[in-house]
Amino acid sequence: GSEVAMVKEWYSNGRDHLEEKEINKLDGCISERFSPNKHTEILFYRRKSLPSGAEQEVEFSCRRTDHLVRRVMLPREVVDYFQDRIDFLYYRRIC
């Protein structure tokens, strides 16, 4: 028999503004997309389990006061990406 490799789900009118969820059964990666709205800053979230820990990625709307647009969280580091900051910071890596 065949096994399911990918599951896609679509949502509408939820309080969390989730629009789409994708579950990759082969690598354990879960991705979620959210509609832009005034209640949350998250547009995209991805989580993947690794032998060394989880890898997570979040993309934000441009409404954040710190201008953070993307964050990647790895087992031993965090990487931030910024846009249009007055101090010109665009990349920060924390180990």
In this prediction, residue 33 carries a pLDDT of: 97
> If you count them, how many residues does the chain have?
95
Q: Tell me the pLDDT of the chain averaged across its residues.
A: 93
Name the residue type at position 92.
R
- Beta-sheet strands, E only, within the chain: 6-10, 18-24, 30-34, 42-50, 53-60, 68-74, 77-82, 91-94
The DSSP element (H or E) to which 37 belongs, if any, is none
Question: What is the pLDDT confidence band of residue 95, given thresholds at 50, 70 and 90?
Answer: very high
| pTM of the entire predicted model | 0.85
End-to-end CA distance of the chain: 45
Q: pLDDT tens digits, residue range 50-94? A: 888 899 999 998 778 899 999 999 999 999 999 999 999 999 999
